[in-house]
């Protein structure tokens, strides 16, 4: 049987997503005939073209400059001047505004896609997939139907990793199902994992797809293909949600396998030279799941990934394979939290073999991360680390079950920066029960340590379904939150607190923070996490305004 794997819009078009290449490699190893396409990237190429911009009302002279703007992001070198980089990003954002204006209630950016329809309501999704005036991807997908017909797949797998892909993903499946009713359409990805509880009760959604694979699908997808090929019962497929005799059925998920036995991800079929980043830049992983996995606000467990990790030797081999096959020297680790000892061993291998690799990863702050640790990582190619600080108030960190002392986090960030590695720090205010003076401790830490922090991303706490906070509202002083029946695919919820700062207080504190002259270096109009690899550390040492 022939399998077509599709990554739909909308996601950042800066590098491929790892889901399809990982699955493609597994399927090919099992003998399947596999084709993969990144319709997210291809949609940006379609809309950010002179023809479409002129159609949207941009003058022909201005529209014809779009290719030069994209080339400036795809240069083979690092971004020399940050002003040039931000200028190019701003131009693309402006072009996308023109594209969006042609549709009712639509806003497409490089980081998000919103419409007048709610991603949290099944009925809205069912309406959106057919609304040509309120869904700009219908036009793009119509042009892809001929390609699908030429490929002649028996199975189409659609991977939905982000909320912004939900309506586009179902729009695509709807069009394929109408045009090619004999194709089996299955949908998976981390966002489907978040929605798995709902999908078991939403029979109408099966008018758009044939099945869902909400968890890890390395073995399940192979079993699905084999079951369809022999005309077997779908109950044989682990982790599958499907419709049988007008009833939604689900089977027990497969037991996660050994990551070291998986083949190197296969990126064949993707337009690697068209992503909006310099050179060939590929995602990779050293683990699945989070080795801590206790934070009370987190819902990463909904992906179904119990923590497992690869040996450093396996990761190094994959980097070498991808370098040999695609010329890739720059890697983005997508791990929830990079296992620290694996990172150290990997860096030593890269340095000892004199490989030209550079890489980005997200880390938890651990006591072993002294200056020598980060010096080792730097010699082994690490150039950017993302830290989920969340808070600098110890009481709140303990309440979150973050698992570290705040002094450790502060020291780790400084050690990382002093080693020459760029740092991106994430935080949020308003965790239930947090008081105003406690929230200020976090902002004060960012300000006082700004010489060690190159970028920050801050916002307010968001209550997500099936987090420990959501499951235990009384424990976290939440008085009540929105009835789950109001939006029947809801993932996040508004809430009310009995004590501590509320949403208005949080917004006030964040606005005061943004106005502080000492944090102007953090307020660039737009930067993508992957792109920090290509900006010099000196770009983030700007003089403060008086």
Which CATH number goes with the domain that contains 404? 3.20.20.70
For residue range 30-54, list pLDDT tens digits in order.
999 999 999 999 999 999 999 999 9
- Burial letters for 90-117: b for 16+ Cβ neighbours within 10 Å, e otherwise? ebbeebbebbbeebeebebbbeebbbbb
- Per-residue model confidence (pLDDT) at position 91: 94
C-alpha closest to that of 312 among 365, 359, 269? 359
Distances (CA, A) of 234 to 75, 237, 306, 438: 48, 6, 25, 53
Residues 242 and 294 in one domain: no
Residues 283 and 244 in one domain: no
> Is the predicted pLDDT of residue 350 greater than 60, yes or no?
yes
Rounded CA separation 7/158 (Å): 6
Residue appearing with tokens 């109009």: 525
Structure tokens of 179? 């045009």
Whether 102 is covered by a domain: the verdict is yes
Whether 464 is covered by a domain: the verdict is no
What band does 80 get if pLDDT is binned at 50, 70 and 90?
confident
For residue range 515-524, list pLDDT tens digits in order.
999 998 888 8
- For 409, other C-beta atoms within 10 Å of its C-beta total 24
Contact between residue 347 and residue 373 where contact means Cβ atoms under 8 Å apart: no
Rounded CA separation 137/514 (Å): 35
> Is the predicted pLDDT of residue 396 greater than 80, yes or no?
yes
Q: Can you list the positions of beta strands (E) in 287-420?
A: 287-288, 308-309, 330-333, 358-363, 382-390
C-alpha closest to that of 351 among 317, 383, 376? 376
C-alpha closest to that of 289 among 215, 238, 223, 344? 215
Q: Calculate mean pLDDT across residues 145-164.
A: 98
Residues 245 and 283 in one domain: no
Whether 61 is covered by a domain: the verdict is yes
Return the higher-pLDDT residue of 81 and 424: 424
Residues 202 and 297 in one domain: no
> Is the predicted pLDDT of residue 484 greater than 70, yes or no?
no
> Is the predicted pLDDT of residue 482 greater than 60, yes or no?
no
Spatial neighbors of 467 by CB under 8 A, at least 6 apart, are: 296, 297, 298, 299
- Per-residue model confidence (pLDDT) at position 254: 85
Plot region of 414 (φ>0 → left; ψ -120 to 50 → alpha; else → beta): alpha
Whether 543 is covered by a domain: the verdict is no
- Per-residue model confidence (pLDDT) at position 480: 62
> Is the predicted pLDDT of residue 24 greater than 60, yes or no?
yes
For residue 522, the surrounding DSSP H or E stretch is none
Whether 479 is covered by a domain: the verdict is no
> Is the predicted pLDDT of residue 525 greater than 80, yes or no?
no
Q: What is the CA radius of gyration of the chain?
A: 23
> Is the predicted pLDDT of residue 543 greater than 70, yes or no?
no
Q: Residue 213 class from Cβ within 10 Å (0-12 exposed, 13-18 middle, 19+ buried)?
A: buried
| pTM to 2 decimal places | 0.95
- Per-residue model confidence (pLDDT) at position 544: 60
Residues 163 and 91 in one domain: yes
Whether 259 is covered by a domain: the verdict is no
Residues 286 and 217 in one domain: no
Residues 79 and 227 in one domain: yes
Q: Which of 234, 250, 266 is the last residue of a domain?
A: 250
- Per-residue model confidence (pLDDT) at position 527: 86
Residues 222 and 294 in one domain: no
- Per-residue model confidence (pLDDT) at position 47: 97
Residues 232 and 290 in one domain: no
Residues 334 and 205 in one domain: no
Longest alpha-carbon distance in the chain: 73
Residue 440's domain spans which residues? 279-459+519-524
Percent of the chain with pLDDT over 90: 85
For residue range 229-276, list pLDDT tens digits in order.
999 999 999 999 999 988 999 999 988 889 999 999 999 999 999 999
- Per-residue model confidence (pLDDT) at position 481: 60
Residues 200 and 301 in one domain: no
- Per-residue model confidence (pLDDT) at position 76: 82
Contact between residue 177 and residue 143 where contact means Cβ atoms under 8 Å apart: no
For residue range 167-200, list pLDDT tens digits in order.
999 999 999 999 999 999 999 999 999 999 899 9
Whether 268 is covered by a domain: the verdict is no
Spatial neighbors of 195 by CB under 8 A, at least 6 apart, are: 214, 489, 491
Peptide bond into 481 cis (omega under 30): no
Structure tokens of 117? 């329809």
Residues 224 and 369 in one domain: no
- Per-residue model confidence (pLDDT) at position 468: 93
SS3 at position 141: helix
- Per-residue model confidence (pLDDT) at position 32: 96
Whether 356 is covered by a domain: the verdict is yes
- Domain count along the chain: 2
> Is the predicted pLDDT of residue 303 greater than 70, yes or no?
no
Q: Calculate mean pLDDT across residues 148-153.
A: 98
Distances (CA, A) of 466 to 20, 41, 200: 26, 32, 16
Kindly report the average pLDDT of the chain as a whole number. Answer: 94
Query: H-type helices in 48-180, by residue range?
Result: 50-55, 60-63, 66-73, 82-100, 122-128, 137-151, 166-179
């Amino acid at each position: 049987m022939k399998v077509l794997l599709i990554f739909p819009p909308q996601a950042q078009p800066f590098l491929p997503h790892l889901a399809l290449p990982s699955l493609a490699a597994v399927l090919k190893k099992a003998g399947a005939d596999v084709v993969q396409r990144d319709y997210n990237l291809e949609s940006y190429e379609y809309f950010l073209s002179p023809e479409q911009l002129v159609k949207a009302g941009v003058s022909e002279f201005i529209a014809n400059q779009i290719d030069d703007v994209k080339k400036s992001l795809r240069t083979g070198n690092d971004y020399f001047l940050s002003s040039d980089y931000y200028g190019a990003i701003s131009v693309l954002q402006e072009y996308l505004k023109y594209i969006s204006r042609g549709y009712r209630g639509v806003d497409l950016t490089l980081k998000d896609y919103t419409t007048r329809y709610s991603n949290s309501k099944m009925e809205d999704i069912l309406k959106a997939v057919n609304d040509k005036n309120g869904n700009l991807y219908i036009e793009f997908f119509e042009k892809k139907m001929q390609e699908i017909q030429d490929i002649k797949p028996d199975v189409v797998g659609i991977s939905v990793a982000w909320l912004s892909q939900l309506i586009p993903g179902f729009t695509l499946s709807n069009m394929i199902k109408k045009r090619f009713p004999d194709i089996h359409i299955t949908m998976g990805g981390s966002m489907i994992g978040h929605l798995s509880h709902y999908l078991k009760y939403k029979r109408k959604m099966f008018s758009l797809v044939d099945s869902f694979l909400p968890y890890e699908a390395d073995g399940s997808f192979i079993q699905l293909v084999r079951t369809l090929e022999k005309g077997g019962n779908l109950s044989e497929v682990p982790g599958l949600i499907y419709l049988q005799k007008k009833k939604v059925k689900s089977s027990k998920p497969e037991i996660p396998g050994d990551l070291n036995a998986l083949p190197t991800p296969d990126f064949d079929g993707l337009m690697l030279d068209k992503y909006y980043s310099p050179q060939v830049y590929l995602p990779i992983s050293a683990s699945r799941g989070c080795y801590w996995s206790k934070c009370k606000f987190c819902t990463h467990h909904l992906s179904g990934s119990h923590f497992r990790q690869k040996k450093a030797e396996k990761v190094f081999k994959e980097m070498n394979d991808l370098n040999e096959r695609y010329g890739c020297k720059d890697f983005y680790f997508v791990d929830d939290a990079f296992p620290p000892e694996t990172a150290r061993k990997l860096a030593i291998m890269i340095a000892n073999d004199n490989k030209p690799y550079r890489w980005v990863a997200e880390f938890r702050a651990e006591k072993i991360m002294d200056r020598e640790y980060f010096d080792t990582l730097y010699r082994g190619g690490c150039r950017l680390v993302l830290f989920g600080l969340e808070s600098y108030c110890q009481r709140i960190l303990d309440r979150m079950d973050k698992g570290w002392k705040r002094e450790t986090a502060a020291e780790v960030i400084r050690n990382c920066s002093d080693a020459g590695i760029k740092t991106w720090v994430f935080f949020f205010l308003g965790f239930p029960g947090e008081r105003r003076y406690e929230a200020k401790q976090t902002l004060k830490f960012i300000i006082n340590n700004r010489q060690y922090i190159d970028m920050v991303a801050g916002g307010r706490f968001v209550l997500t379904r099936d987090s420990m906070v959501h499951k235990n509202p009384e424990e976290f002083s939440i008085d009540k939150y929105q009835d789950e029946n109001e939006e029947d695919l809801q993932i996040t919820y508004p809430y009310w607190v009995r004590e501590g700062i509320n949403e208005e207080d949080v917004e006030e504190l964040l606005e005061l923070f943004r106005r502080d002259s000492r944090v102007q270096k953090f307020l660039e109009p737009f930067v993508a996490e992957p792109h920090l690899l290509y900006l010099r550390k000196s770009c983030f040492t700007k003089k403060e305004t008086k």
